[in-house]
């Protein structure tokens, strides 16, 4: 892999050409109308002469091997390794973003420079590194959809699984396009108030809810994460609304991760989430009918373990991103033989 400046040579997927050299991007919930020479809201998709191009196809800004638990995915190949990659940019502008140096670079005026790697090279690297999956993560995979899509097709052919870690702003068309090649996804449901999405994320809530329903309908294994931010989304009412949406419209088997917030980016002065708030969220999730609720960014408090919903015994013990014990046997509880939802082998 060699370093190079990103170009505009890779035509984008999922857009409609219109009159007067305008295009309508159909990739995410913004559905931007883009005039010739201009960029979409993500600042990495550009209309050049009436065609939409990806500016970051050859611009990886992160490439690491991570435990799958870091995504977080707790019901997907526990203890396995995942080749994790990202290109610069995002279609959100979250004021608390913990990867803002790369996700917000185009908004801050920095070009999406990075490392070029072909889909074939990435799949081969995953195999050499003994990775069971490739994760499109750190920034929003929707904004490097073309690279993710082409890589995911080759990965599946090579027996490597594919994972998105996403803000869930894909259109139903985008979901249906990637779903045949996507094994699992963790979606950040950042709040349950549209005004919060508009003010803090510069987006809207409803496209996220639509995306989540479509993912479940397309049978992509889905887990949901909510970063619990003091003063933003931590009321009992709002946490309850999130839990009831997951249980009622996605299903009680969908895992919900409630994660501790640490101040960053433009919200660096906001205090961290108290431990008791996470415990309250876990109880709210249980009351809503969710079978699998986890606390994140708070290792050692017991909120990372998976228990059998039938007999209540420990199935997967975790500390941080490490699996300490695993009592699953071919997707069944090793104690009572009950089937446990997830992708286990």
- Of 105-119, 151-165, 177-191, 269-283, least confident by mean pLDDT is 105-119
Tokens 């072909």: give the residue.
118
Retrieve residue 260's tokens: 């501790």
Residues 109 and 250 in one domain: yes
Residues 120 and 233 in one domain: yes
Asked if residue 4 has pLDDT above 50, the reply is: no
CB 133 within 8 A of CB 161: yes
Residues 321 and 172 in one domain: no
pLDDT of residue 37: 96
Residues 133 and 276 in one domain: yes
Question: In sequence order, what are the beta bridge partners of 164?
Answer: 136, 185
**CA angle, corner 66, sides to 99 and 185, nearest 5?**
75
CB 117 within 8 A of CB 60: yes
Residues 44 and 150 in one domain: no
pTM (2 decimals)? 0.95
pLDDT of residue 8: 55
Residues 29 and 94 in one domain: no
Cα separation, 271 vs 230, in Å, equals: 7
Cα separation, 324 vs 321, in Å, equals: 10
CB 67 within 8 A of CB 322: yes
Residues 6+ apart with CB under 8 A from 152: 134, 136, 162, 178, 181, 182
pLDDT of residue 3: 31
Asked if residue 257 has pLDDT above 90, the reply is: yes
Residues 50 and 73 in one domain: no
pLDDT of residue 345: 85
pLDDT of residue 2: 31
Residues 215 and 147 in one domain: yes
Mean pLDDT value of segment 166-193? 98
Asked if residue 339 has pLDDT above 80, the reply is: yes
Average model confidence (pLDDT) for the chain? 94
- Of 6-15, 78-87, 137-146, 196-205, least confident by mean pLDDT is 6-15
Task: Give the pLDDT band of residue 216 (cuts 50, 70, 90).
Answer: very high
Could you list the residue range(s) of the whole structural domain that residue 109 is in?
60-304
Residues 244 and 297 in one domain: yes
**pLDDT tens string 146-178:** 999 999 999 999 999 999 999 999 999 999 999
Residues 227 and 338 in one domain: no
Element of type H or E holding 122: helix 119-128
Q: Which residue has the higher pLDDT, 9 or 80?
A: 80
pLDDT of residue 298: 83
Mean pLDDT value of segment 92-107? 93
Task: Give the pLDDT band of residue 235 (cuts 50, 70, 90).
Answer: very high
Listing DSSP states for 40-86 in one string gives: -TTSSEEEETTEEEES-TT-EEEEEEEEGGGTT-SSBSTT-EEEEEE
Dihedral over Cα of 77, 181, 166, 2: its sign = positive
Mean pLDDT value of segment 242-271? 96
Element of type H or E holding 149: helix 145-157
CATH number of the domain bearing residue 178: 3.20.20.70
Secondary-structure percent of the chain, ordered helix, strand, coil, rounded to 5: 30, 25, 45
Cα separation, 147 vs 154, in Å, equals: 11
**Total structural domains in the chain?**
3
Mean pLDDT value of segment 131-154? 97
What phi and psi values does residue 118 have, to the nearest 5 degrees? -80, 160
Mean pLDDT value of segment 74-80? 98
Fill in the DSSP letter of residue 168. S
Question: In sequence order, what are the beta bridge partners of 82?
Answer: 66, 133
**pLDDT tens string 35-67:** 999 999 999 999 999 999 999 998 999 999 999
Task: Give the pLDDT band of residue 114 (cuts 50, 70, 90).
Answer: confident
C-alpha radius of gyration, the chain, whole number: 20
CB 192 within 8 A of CB 170: no
Dihedral over Cα of 102, 272, 204, 224: its sign = positive
Cα separation, 319 vs 52, in Å, equals: 45
Mean pLDDT value of segment 321-341? 96
Percentage of the chain surpassing pLDDT 70?
97
Residues 124 and 15 in one domain: no
Cα separation, 46 vs 21, in Å, equals: 12
Per DSSP bridges, beta strands 293-296 and 256-260 are parallel
Residues 299 and 324 in one domain: no
Mean pLDDT value of segment 206-213? 98
pLDDT of residue 6: 43
pLDDT of residue 299: 78
Percentage of the chain surpassing pLDDT 90?
91
Asked if residue 5 has pLDDT above 50, the reply is: no
**Final residue of a structural domain among 54, 70, 87:** 54
Tokens 């984008």: give the residue.
12
Is residue 49 classed exposed, middle or buried when 0-12, 13-18 and 19+ CB atoms within 10 A define those classes? exposed
Cα separation, 65 vs 68, in Å, equals: 9
3-state secondary structure of 135: strand
Retrieve residue 308's tokens: 């059998």
**At how many degrees (to 10) do helices 236-245 and 275-288 cross?**
40
pLDDT of residue 60: 95
**Final residue of a structural domain among 54, 71, 90:** 54
């Amino acid at each position: 892999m060699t370093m190079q400046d990103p170009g505009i040579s890779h035509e984008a997927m999922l857009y409609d050409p219109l009159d007067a050299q305008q295009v309508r991007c159909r990739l995410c919930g913004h559905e931007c109308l883009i005039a010739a020479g201009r960029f979409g809201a993500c600042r990495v998709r550009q209309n050049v002469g009436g065609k939409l191009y990806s500016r970051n196809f050859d611009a990886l800004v992160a490439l690491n091997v991570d435990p799958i638990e870091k995504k977080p995915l707790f019901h997907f190949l526990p203890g396995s390794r995942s080749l994790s990659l990202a290109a610069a940019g995002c279609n959100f502008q979250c004021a608390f973003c913990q990867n803002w140096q790369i996700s917000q670079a185009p908004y801050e005026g920095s070009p999406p420079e990075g490392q070029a790697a072909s889909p074939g090279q990435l799949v081969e690297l995953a195999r050499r590194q003994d990775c069971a999956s490739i994760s499109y993560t750190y920034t929003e995979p929707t904004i490097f959809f073309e690279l993710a899509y082409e890589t995911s097709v080759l990965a599946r052919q090579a027996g490597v699984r594919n994972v998105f870690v996403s803000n869930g702003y894909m259109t139903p068309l985008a979901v249906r396009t990637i779903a045949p090649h996507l094994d699992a996804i963790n979606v950040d449901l950042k709040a349950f108030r549209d005004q919060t999405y508009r003010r803090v994320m510069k987006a809207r809530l409803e496209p996220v809810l639509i995306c989540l329903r479509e993912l479940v309908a397309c049978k992509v294994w889905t887990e949901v994460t909510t970063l619990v931010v003091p003063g933003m989304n931590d009321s009992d009412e709002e946490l309850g609304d999130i839990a009831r949406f997951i249980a009622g419209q996605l299903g009680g088997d969908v895992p919900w991760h409630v994660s501790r917030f640490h101040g960053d980016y433009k919200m660096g002065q906001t205090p961290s989430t108290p431990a008791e708030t996470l415990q309250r969220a876990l109880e709210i999730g249980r009351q809503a009918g969710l079978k699998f609720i986890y606390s994140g960014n708070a290792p050692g408090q017991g909120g990372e373990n998976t228990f059998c919903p039938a007999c209540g015994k420990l199935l997967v013990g975790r500390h941080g991103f490490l699996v300490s014990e695993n009592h699953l046997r071919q997707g069944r509880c090793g104690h009572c033989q009950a089937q446990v939802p997830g992708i286990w082998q």
